[in-house]
Structure 1
Amino acid sequence: MSRKSKASKLAFGVPTVQDIEFVTENIRQSDRDDISGIWPDMSVFEVVMRDVEKSKLVYGLYFGDIPYAVFGVIPASVSSVGIPWVVGTKSVDRNALTFVRASRSLVEMLQMSFPIFETFVCTQNSKSIHWHRWCGFKYENEKIKIGRDYYYRATRVATEKLSKRGDK
């Protein structure tokens, strides 16, 4: 597991199945609501593991040695486009600023492999809307119904600087 900085208690690493179980057992309510709105007949663990299996990149965010969140990127059918996803524990809500600060760096790192991110953000999940905006996603105004809820389509294009670094 690599440390983000000596002063930070946050670390990025590759999550184990046990880490993913911990995150899904302690998932924050907003993430649970999003998952159940789209996949009401699947457990949170099944949905997250399916996304892990489809993803090209998967990272865990750890607070000390405790799993805090899991991020991944699923390759889209269009080359160089990735579909990012993230689920966090209840600790994310209690330490929102810490999570947000770490997220932008991780999103930028993940975007070296996928210059374009496209995803859908639930219109009822203000935490997710603000997080995506903080990380540089732009929203389309149109709302699309997926499952029981409506979603905004959100896109993030890598900056020129990131695109060049990713090509090396």
Structure 2
Amino acid sequence: MSSLDNGSSLKLGIPTLEDVDFVAANIRKSDRRDMAGLHPGKSVREIIMGDVEYSKFVYGLFRDGDIQAIFGVIPMSFGVGTPWVVGSTAVDKSPLPFARASRRLLDMLQRSFPQLDTWFCAQNTKSVLWHNWCGFEFEKEKVRLGRDEYFHAFRRVARRKMEVN
């Protein structure tokens, strides 16, 4: 495992199947509700494992050796990926370190995927705040997917202007 920076209490690592099982069993209520709305009839573990299967990168955030959240990014097209995150109840107990680590992790993922493109439940206030905190831009119009309304959002790497000599 590696530290995200000197001040972070969270460490970045590769989650095991046991970590997936733990997060699935201890998932945040808001994440469980979102999954049930998009994937009725599927278990939380099935949904997480489906995301893991299609992801190019999958990371776990750990505190004191315990899994807090699992992140991944699914390739959509050249340079575009769809990020996903599933948090355990521990994230709700200490959201600020998670939010700070999320920005750094998304910055790292954007080395391979300059554009992150995603949909998230408009009724999930935690998700709305997280996406805003992490620098996603939202489209104003909501779209119904499954039983709920969703925002489309994206996060792009700022392109530097090249100087001409």
Q: TM-score range by the shorter chain?
A: over 0.9
The 5 Å alignment of 1:88-167 reads 88-160=87-159
Cα displacement (A) at 1:6: 4.8
**AA aligned opposite 2:4:** K
Q: Secondary structure at the match of 2:36?
A: helix
Note if contact 2:74-2:83 (Cα within 8 Å) is conserved in structure 1: yes
**AA aligned opposite 2:63:** F
Q: 1:36 corresponds to which residue?
A: 36
CA distance in 2, matches of 1:9, 1:130: 21
Note if contact 2:143-2:151 (Cα within 8 Å) is conserved in structure 1: yes
Q: 1:164 corresponds to which residue?
A: none
Note if contact 2:3-2:12 (Cα within 8 Å) is conserved in structure 1: yes
Note if contact 2:139-2:153 (Cα within 8 Å) is conserved in structure 1: yes
User: Taking structure 1 as the reference length, what is the TM-score of the superposition?
Assistant: 0.92
User: Taking structure 2 as the reference length, what is the TM-score of the superposition?
Assistant: 0.94
Q: 1:18 corresponds to which residue?
A: 18
Cα displacement (A) at 1:21: 0.7
Q: Secondary structure at the match of 1:113?
A: coil
**CA RMSD in angstroms, aligned pairs only:** 1.3
1:119-159 deviation line (CA, Å, top 9, x unaligned): 00101001001101111100001111111000010010012
Q: Secondary structure at the match of 1:142?
A: coil
CA distance in 1, matches of 2:113, 2:6: 28
**AA aligned opposite 2:150:** Y
| Unaligned stretches of 5+ residues in structure 2 | 161-165
